[in-house]
Structure 1
Amino acid sequence: MKKTLILFIIILTSNLVKAQFIKEKSINAQIGYGISVPYNSIDEIADNGFYVQGELVLKVASWFELRPYAGFILTSSNGKDLNDNPTNEKAESKAFLLGGKARVRAPIPWVAPYVEIGIGTSIGKFETLTAFDNIDKGGIIYHIPFSIGLELGKNNNVDLGFTYYFQPSVKQFVGAFAVGITFPLNNEK
């Protein structure tokens, strides 16, 4: 199943690059403050870290884009909850992110709100330790990306948003508050 999902994503993204319904192509680079949070926790914890991602932006219409992506998230526990109290609970991820998303946006100059959803894989090491879960897993798992944010600037080339990757098989989600910049590629007319 995992190999089939990866093969499907590769075939889908390679065929979309030359598709005639793609109006413009760009590259989006994002960097941000990463977090990981367990689904079930008694203590309020959010482990922090680093997030980076690159996306191939395939504009279908002024309000709809397809976005194959590759990224990396690294989070680790400091042994404290959000109130600075010691805790044994944690949700750590060290993973390469790969997948595809669809973005729906309001085509407004200067400030364009958006929402996106997709499917992908996380490849790496995941640890979720709570009163209810004790998961220490490595390898390939699926995730569901979800993002909300704003595209800023005259050409909407600055991206400011919250992006999350729900990972049900390890009972945690990872995410980031990220800033991105979009660079247009040579688009054929």
Structure 2
Amino acid sequence: MKKILIISILIISSNFVEAQFIKEKSINAQIGYGISAPYNTIENSASGGFFIQSELILKAASWVEFRPYAGFILTNATDKDLNNKPINERVESQAFLLGGKVRVKAPIPWVAPYVEIGIGTSIGKFQTVTAYDNIEKSGIIYHIPFAFGLELGRNNNVDLGFSYYFQPAVQQYTGALAVGITIPLNKKV
């Protein structure tokens, strides 16, 4: 109960007090091809699927941004590999993703490389079946997001990158090759 009260007070107070170091606010929407793969594997047991995510971008400087995010990933395992041979391993993830990241980038117009890291939670259903692990879990687990890519365009408003969410509790990572677009909300002088 005490934790809920503290979180509620923080949320309410954040609506009244705006951080002075935030220069711009934007929203980024991403969509892409999602994957799930185990940490330990003998066979090529990665599974493919769908990824969608939205981020609130809080720009503190031209080279650093804070990014709370919410997303969804859905991957389904196949029974055969790329050579049409049967696979005994199975990796799936159906999860809602929540968390926060920090992006550090080179503030270059047209092509700006970036890297980001953070902490978050995955809420959903996970399965990792390999020669080393046999895990089926539903519920809430933590993940560590890591991403890298390029911001493209004169104002760096197109995002092309790789996003990964390492999930130690189920011995797998999910990720995506995604493209996104950034829509500015406001600018401070």
Q: Once the 2 structures are TM-superposed, how far is the Cα of residue 46 of structure 1 from its aligned partner?
A: 1.1
Question: Structure 1 unaligned runs (5+)?
Answer: none
Residues 1:41 and 1:107: Cα distance change in structure 2 (over 3 Å): same
TM-score for the superposition, normalised by structure 1? 0.91
Aligned to 1:141: 141
Aligned to 1:51: 51
Q: Once the 2 structures are TM-superposed, how far is the Cα of residue 107 of structure 1 from its aligned partner?
A: 0.2
| Distance across 1 between alignment mates of 2:107 and 2:138 | 41
| Distance across 2 between alignment mates of 1:43 and 1:84 | 13
Opposite residue 175 of structure 1, the aligned amino acid is G
| 1:1-189 aligned within 5 A | 11=10, 15=14, 18-189=18-189
Deviation per residue, 1:24-73 (Å, 9 max, x gap): 00000000000000011110121000000000000000000000000000
Instruction: Note if contact 1:159-1:181 (Cα within 8 Å) is conserved in structure 2.
Output: yes
| Distance across 2 between alignment mates of 1:50 and 1:57 | 23
Q: Once the 2 structures are TM-superposed, how far is the Cα of residue 88 of structure 1 from its aligned partner?
A: 2.1
SS at match of 1:186: strand
Aligned-pair identity (%): 71
| Distance across 1 between alignment mates of 2:153 and 2:122 | 32
- Mean CA deviation greater in 38-47 or 135-144: 38-47
Q: Once the 2 structures are TM-superposed, how far is the Cα of residue 82 of structure 1 from its aligned partner?
A: 4.1
TM-score for the superposition, normalised by structure 2? 0.91
Instruction: Note if contact 1:46-1:82 (Cα within 8 Å) is conserved in structure 2.
Output: no
SS at match of 1:95: strand
| Distance across 2 between alignment mates of 1:167 and 1:182 | 27
Aligned length: 183
Q: Once the 2 structures are TM-superposed, how far is the Cα of residue 18 of structure 1 from its aligned partner?
A: 2.0
| Distance across 1 between alignment mates of 2:14 and 2:175 | 28
Q: Once the 2 structures are TM-superposed, how far is the Cα of residue 188 of structure 1 from its aligned partner?
A: 4.5
| Distance across 1 between alignment mates of 2:123 and 2:88 | 25
**Runs of 4 or more off by more than 4 Å in structure 1?**
none
| Distance across 2 between alignment mates of 1:160 and 1:172 | 23
Residues 1:11 and 1:49: Cα distance change in structure 2 (over 3 Å): farther
Residues 1:157 and 1:20: Cα distance change in structure 2 (over 3 Å): same
Question: Structure 2 unaligned runs (5+)?
Answer: none
